[in-house]
Structure 1
Amino acid sequence: MEPALAEPPSRTARADRPDRLWRPRRVLVTPAALEHAHGRAMLARAEALGLPVERLAANRLNGLRHTDPRRAYAEAKATLALVVAPPTKLRLQPIPPSADWRFDLAEGCPAHCQYCYLAGSLSGPPVTRAYANLDRILENLDGYAGRGAVTSASDARVHEGTTFEASCYTDPLGIEHLTGSLSAAIRHFGAWNAPVQLRFTTKFAAVEPLLDLPHGRRTRIRFSVNARGAARYEGGTASLDARLRAMRSVALAGYPVGLTIAPILPIPDWQAAYADLIRDAADALAGVPDLDLTAELITHRFTPGSKEVLQSWYPGSDLPLDEAKRTRKFTKFGSVKYVLPKDLMAEMRAGLHAALARELPTARVLYWT
């Protein structure tokens, strides 16, 4: 290996312990899941890892609700269910500003992020559901190629082709050792002879199964990162250093990569904290040939519903959720959300854009929201 490609020393490097892969305490398997080859393959993975498997008599997941929300949360977060995606999952929806379409390999996430936006999006206990009808999910994408109103309709991003986002309702890398679904999707896009792109974001680092896949540069792997002062809000995820090393590894394997800086928070001395984060990312990517790098900048926001759920899950959290310090806005669906005040938003936007231009001048900033 050429010296330029070696692991660069990091100003913040430390001796991390290896990040542990998620081992659910329960694996629930529905009869319908076992009608699919991918469902049987996921079951075989779970059994090979020695995980406790429960074969259900029916396709409904029952007995997951409790009057104590903390107990319901803890038990759900420790549960993987192998199920069949319902027909509604095959009717794709646009996902601006990220991609033309979103599709789901799974629903739910094993991480314990105290700002989790899924808290306001999913109903019921946050069980991770992995979809067994993977072949049907991937075949269904063909009908959406060449269509879309996000990247396909943007002069600045039309070269990306029709884009498909796979991490709206899950972190597919965080469960890949249990499902194999992400690798299958990458192979599918790599073999798809069309201007298309698979996109996913992750807070995990176990990228080894992806490095030798025939991806054809049609998968962009984005790493969700945050300033080190926000690390306490991201339980159960890979460390920032591990994520940056993983980003370097997949970039060296030829994947287009991305930084998803989110959620941008008004932590103490945020200017220096986010500048340091971007400098660390630049160190991690130093010397990577043919680097294709994007950046997506997402500020923190919450809704009354997500605040209620998050505070029931993490009652001791100091995550800033004071409505009096936010600006009240309405979504396109008419619901209320609380965002950072306009002046602070403008200051943070200018600061992060300046740091990116200084440290990672070749990065394409896709959006700020």
Structure 2
Amino acid sequence: METAQTLAPPPALAPPSSAPSPARPARLWRPRRVLVTPAALEHAHGRAMLARAEAQGIPVERLPANRLTGLRHADPRRAYVEAKATLALVVAPPTKLRLQPIPPSADWRFDLAEGCPAHCQYCYLAGSLSGPPLTRAYANLDAILGNLEAYLGQGAVTSAQAERAQEGTTFEASCYTDPLGIEHLTGSLSAAIRHFGAWEAPVQLRFTTKFAAVEPLLDLPHRRRTRIRFSVNARAATRYEGGTASLDARLGAMRAVALAGYPVGLTIAPILPVPDWEAGYAALIREAAEALAGVPDLDLTAELITHRFTPGSKQVLQGWYPGSDLPLDEAGRTRKLTKFGSVKYVFPKDVMAAMRATLFAALSRDLPAARILYWT
């Protein structure tokens, strides 16, 4: 049973130390090394990923066994830096084929990979994944995609809710990774889009990204069965999103895929009390509206997610980003217990209510085409 203790409202974040940086072109992640397990090379997709890495001149280490070792260091910062520069080609364990529900986003979660090359100072994977944060790409892609049919027509979100029934059975592919951020190295996302496009059933693939290299996706036979959502934030908060595409690049990529016929979405997250946050988030929504102006047959959703953290994620993030001023002070939050008994810290009710009212009003005014899926 969820309980809450209301604490003092959070102070506004300190102003950025410098003005927002100018727009920069989207760049592709280049790991310093690629580790390849023997089991990965038993799969055609594993061999294809290896060929991609070798073609890009990235150092490759073929491991003698299927365990990833030597990744931990006494210095957590060193472990973080080395892991974030590493891509491992592995086989997804059998547990990955037992899908888990992922409300409120979708019916089911499935994973093409685990880990992300970005350096977001609020990264929620810090509290979700154990060990050094390297990126693991799964070689047994045929098994992963072939397993999805068993879940058709099941689920408790779009499969059960009348207001989202038109989406069909939904499968979320970005819970533990940003699949676009590694697509140039894996090709897994393109394969998944083709799979859903050829699947003669009421289904939808969904993923969220902070990257912008969408060119390989534009001509795929998606048949409007993939919704591409772009994770965006007020400009004053983008300083927490190291290693990602600029906001301008993401909005431009959103326009490009919308013009290519994809359903698209805004994932506004994590919503933070940055300086003059009301104007900042209103400006973000106006910019998104400008980016989508004139797109024919626009199918647009919005998902609104406020910032929260757990004691475990706070400890990890402060180890990864010791100089960050991200607000992680429990005194400015409401303490809640999840249904599993774990603790999380969210904004107090009055702050949440003000944020919700501001963003809903901005969407209604400037981007009425957006269908709001949830607020959390």
TM over 0.5: yes
Cα deviation 1:136-187 (Å, max 9, x = unaligned): 0000000001111111111100110000000000000000000000000000
Match in the other structure for 2:176: 169
3-state DSSP of counterpart to 1:230: helix
Match in the other structure for 2:70: 63
1:52 paired with 2:59, answer yes
1:222 corresponds, among 229, 232, 235, to: 229
1:138 paired with 2:145, answer yes
2:338 corresponds, among 313, 331, 336, to: 331
The question of whether the paired residues in 1 share the 8 Å contact of 2:194 and 2:221 is answered with yes
* Cα distance in 1, alignment partners of residues 73 and 288 from structure 2: 42
1:202 paired with 2:209, answer yes
2:269 corresponds, among 262, 281, 287, to: 262
What is the deviation of 1:20?
1.5
The question of whether the paired residues in 1 share the 8 Å contact of 2:268 and 2:303 is answered with yes
1:276 paired with 2:294, answer no
2:129 corresponds, among 111, 122, 129, to: 122
* Cα distance in 2, alignment partners of residues 15 and 249 from structure 1: 21
Match in the other structure for 1:37: 44
The question of whether the paired residues in 1 share the 8 Å contact of 2:24 and 2:245 is answered with no
Higher RCO (CA 8 Å, separation ≥ 6 residues): 2
Counterpart residue type for residue 68 of structure 2: L
Counterpart residue type for residue 245 of structure 1: G
TM (norm. structure 1) is: 0.96
1:238 paired with 2:245, answer yes
2:305 corresponds, among 282, 298, 306, to: 298
Unaligned stretches of 5+ residues in structure 1 = 1-12
Match in the other structure for 2:13: none
* Cα distance in 1, alignment partners of residues 21 and 98 from structure 2: 45
1:310 paired with 2:317, answer yes
3-state DSSP of counterpart to 1:156: helix
3-state DSSP of counterpart to 2:301: strand
Match in the other structure for 1:77: 84
* Cα distance in 1, alignment partners of residues 334 and 54 from structure 2: 49
What is the deviation of 1:14?
9.4
1:361 paired with 2:356, answer no
* Cα distance in 2, alignment partners of residues 313 and 178 from structure 1: 25
Cα deviation 1:261-314 (Å, max 9, x = unaligned): 000001111100000000000000000000000000000000000000000000
Cα deviation 1:45-76 (Å, max 9, x = unaligned): 00000000000000000000001000000000
Counterpart residue type for residue 109 of structure 1: C
1:286 corresponds, among 281, 293, 301, to: 293
Residues 192 and 104 of structure 1, relative CA distance in 2, 3 Å threshold? same
CA RMSD across the alignment:
1.0
Match in the other structure for 2:359: 352
Counterpart residue type for residue 306 of structure 1: S
* Cα distance in 2, alignment partners of residues 332 and 108 from structure 1: 26
What is the deviation of 1:18?
2.0
What is the deviation of 1:19?
2.0
1:342 paired with 2:355, answer no
What is the deviation of 1:17?
3.4
3-state DSSP of counterpart to 2:196: helix
What is the deviation of 1:349?
0.2
Counterpart residue type for residue 347 of structure 2: L
Match in the other structure for 1:189: 196
* Cα distance in 1, alignment partners of residues 21 and 138 from structure 2: 37
* Cα distance in 2, alignment partners of residues 332 and 45 from structure 1: 43
What is the deviation of 1:16?
3.4
Superposed structure 1 runs of 4+ greater than 4 Å apart: none
3-state DSSP of counterpart to 2:318: helix
What is the deviation of 1:362?
1.2
* Cα distance in 1, alignment partners of residues 268 and 169 from structure 2: 23
* Cα distance in 1, alignment partners of residues 243 and 367 from structure 2: 28
What is the deviation of 1:114?
0.1
3-state DSSP of counterpart to 2:319: helix
2:326 corresponds, among 319, 335, 342, to: 319
Unaligned stretches of 5+ residues in structure 2 = 1-19
Counterpart residue type for residue 115 of structure 2: G
3-state DSSP of counterpart to 1:332: coil
What is the deviation of 1:15?
6.7
